[in-house]
Amino acid sequence: MINETPRVRFAPSPTGYLHVGGLRTALYNYLFAKRNGGKFILRIEDTDRNRYVEGAVENLIKTMNWVGLNYDEGPDIDGNYGPYFQSERLEIYKKYADRLIEEGKAYYCFCTADRLTRLREEQQKAKLPQAKYDKHCLSLSKEEIQQKLNAGERYVIRLNVKPGPKVSFNDEVRDRVEFDRDSIDDQILIKSDSFPTYHMANVVDDHLMKITHVIRGEEWLSSTPKHVLLYDYLGWELPIFAHLPLLLNSDKSKLSKRQGDVAVEDYRDKGYFKESLINFVALLGWSAGDNVEFYNLQELIEKFSLDRVHKAGAVFNVEKLNWLNEEHLRSKPNEELLEGLKKALTVSKYKNLNLTDEYLLLIVEAMKERVSFVKDYIDSCTYFYEDPTEYDETVIKKRWKEKSPEYLEKYKERISTIENPTKEDFEKTLKDLAEELEVGLGQFMHPLRLAVSGVGGGPGMFDLLYIVGKDRIISRISTAFEKIKK
RNA sequence: GGCCCGUUGGUGUAAUUGGUUAACACGUCGCCCUUUCACGGCGAAGAGUACGGGUUCGAGUCCCGUACGGGUCACCA
């Protein structure tokens, strides 16, 4: 095994969307594979027919593609170990279950759901430390079993956990973990609908698909002894386990829908870049130990290692995600942001404006240090798309002076005589005027910004003027005279 | 409740594997830059490492106990 190329898998059950915790698990698997020259496999754990969700797999694949975690084998990328849907591997599980039965390591169980709940209740009443199946059906004779089978009685197949030493295994992030054997229940392996349970399916598939490292969430830690036992019963070599710390809500409970968005799609729709999501989630439970926090996927591949994965759960902190999104935005070329902006524009109220790339690029550049999301290129500077309809009250109070109309009128007159004014023209005109009238530049700039944009903040004064342009400046100044009353 | 895992500023993490005053980032606050807002720069507050014992010349790092948090105990994954 030492020399085998690593094979890891991300094995979600298709519930409809990709959970951010799932994204983190997928990412670590991906990084581990890429770092070590291995293969990354996507396997669909669709063994619960009651939870079937229409279109869930398609959506999952779409989201995986969007974030760029490309797998080497999966439902739509054939490898030599398919099928990659567990629902298409039923005969395989059955075959191994039969083998276990033959060897006395598993057995048929005909107990009804009724009996099981009654059993559980009794055990609870008796204050037993733990509710476990009582191996009732283990004592059935061969004839009895055959008879029931022939009669078509519904059955499940259970793991036969026999007394023995502690079950232990090594975990890459938690070192050695041990469980008492009698704390392990006779887990159902094959359900009465002939579908396997997760425990059976994941062990069989991981072995058959030659998975070398099982990297999954910590919620699986306590069922790992069952899996270890199965490997043992089947005579298979154990993979290396790595149980990742959970992602938490701000109250430290397991990250849940109730306390915010958990779907990767939600974050995508809110305007987060896949780069920031990946970067952020990578840092939840892992660090290279070198103070670097800004990464792209390639850099993560180069730095990642399982032995630097943290043990404790990590709170999902949106503020840091926001910061990372700003950082990634600023690192992107303007052309890419332009494409994003154009796309955002098509679904905005400005979709019919037909603005040129040249014009939009000016906005992209002027606002680059002032936005967190591409959509902010619209939302936080609407004055580039339409005349202001309101004027910020506090700015009026602070900046709109008695003489403001007079100054602005003069500026308006002067720029109206310039043909195709450049940014420098707007600047020189303003400075000259202020000098002639012997007043501070601020007497011009602040009211002018207010009149042109309606707000007190924004890009550099002359960028603002240049982008808005002479004609609109002139008309907006006139409008401001009417609308701004002190 | 049983079992398992965990616990370093508000949050994410670091600390040469036992060796100075516990470091960085996000967030917060302040100053500088900029006659705007941001970006950027500088600085501050904020943990004495959950708590209590031990081992040791020396413990965030090792051991034990307690507390707290979480996970798990399905014919769900």
DSSP-based three-state secondary structure for A374 = coil
CA of A54 to C1' of B77 (A): 17
Tell me the HSE value of A369 on the side-chain side, using a 13 A CA sphere. 5
Residues A208, A95, A46, A243, CA torsion sign: negative
Question: Residue at minimal CA–C1' distance from B37?
Answer: A457
A247 contacts A21 by C-beta, under 8 angstroms:
yes
Q: Which nucleotide is nearest to A307 (CA to C1')?
A: B17
CA of A24 to C1' of B54 (A): 40
Q: Decide which of 3.90.800.10, 1.10.520.10, 3.40.50.300, 3.30.70.870 is the CATH code for A90-190.
A: 3.90.800.10
Question: Residue at minimal CA–C1' distance from B23?
Answer: A291
CA of A291 to C1' of B22 (A): 15
Please pick, among A135, A257, A270, A431, the residue that the annotation labels catalytic: A257
Query: Helix crossing, A357-367 with A461-468: angle to 10°?
Result: 160
Question: Residue at minimal CA–C1' distance from B39?
Answer: A369
pLDDT for the residue A315: 95
Question: Residue at minimal CA–C1' distance from B76?
Answer: A48
A220 contacts A241 by C-beta, under 8 angstroms:
no
CATH number of A257-331: 1.10.1160.10
Q: Note the strand B nucleotides within 7 A of protein beta carbons.
A: 1-8, 10-15, 24-27, 35-39, 69-77
A144's tokens: 């009895």
Question: Residue at minimal CA–C1' distance from B4?
Answer: A222
Q: Which nucleotide is nearest to A44 (CA to C1')?
A: B77
DSSP-based three-state secondary structure for A457 = coil
Cα A68–Cα A379–Cα A337 angle in degrees, nearest 5: 35
pLDDT for the residue A258: 82
Q: Which nucleotide is nearest to A253 (CA to C1')?
A: B70
Q: Which nucleotide is nearest to A255 (CA to C1')?
A: B70
Q: Cis ω on the peptide bond leading into residue A83 (within 30° of 0)?
A: yes
ipTM: 0.95
CA of A320 to C1' of B21 (A): 29
Q: What is the pLDDT along chain A (486 residues), one digit of tens a residue?
A: 555 799 999 999 998 999 999 999 999 999 999 999 999 999 999 999 999 899 999 999 999 999 999 999 999 999 999 899 999 999 999 999 999 999 999 999 999 999 999 998 888 888 888 889 999 999 999 999 999 999 999 999 999 999 999 999 999 999 999 999 999 999 999 999 999 999 999 999 999 999 999 999 999 999 999 999 999 999 999 999 999 999 999 888 888 888 889 999 999 999 999 999 999 999 999 999 888 999 999 999 999 999 999 999 999 999 999 999 999 999 999 999 999 999 999 999 999 999 999 999 999 999 999 999 999 999 999 999 999 999 999 899 888 888 888 999 999 999 999 999 999 999 999 999 999 998 889 999 999 999 999 999 999 999 999 999 999 999 999 999 888 875
Instruction: Record the pTM.
Output: 0.94
CA of A463 to C1' of B77 (A): 55
A132 contacts A185 by C-beta, under 8 angstroms:
yes
Per CATH, is A7-76+199-248 categorized as 3.30.390.30? no
pLDDT for the residue A3: 58
Q: Which of A151, A152, A156, A158 is nearest to A192 (CA)?
A: A156
A138's tokens: 């283990």
Q: Which nucleotide is nearest to A294 (CA to C1')?
A: B25
The answer to whether A257 is a known catalytic residue is yes
Could you write out the DSSP letters of every residue in A139-183? G--HHHHHHHHHTT---EEEE---S-SPEEEEETTTEEEEE-GGG
CA of A226 to C1' of B3 (A): 13
pLDDT for the residue A124: 85
pLDDT for the residue A147: 96
* Domain topology for A387-486: Arc Repressor Mutant, subunit A (1.10.10)
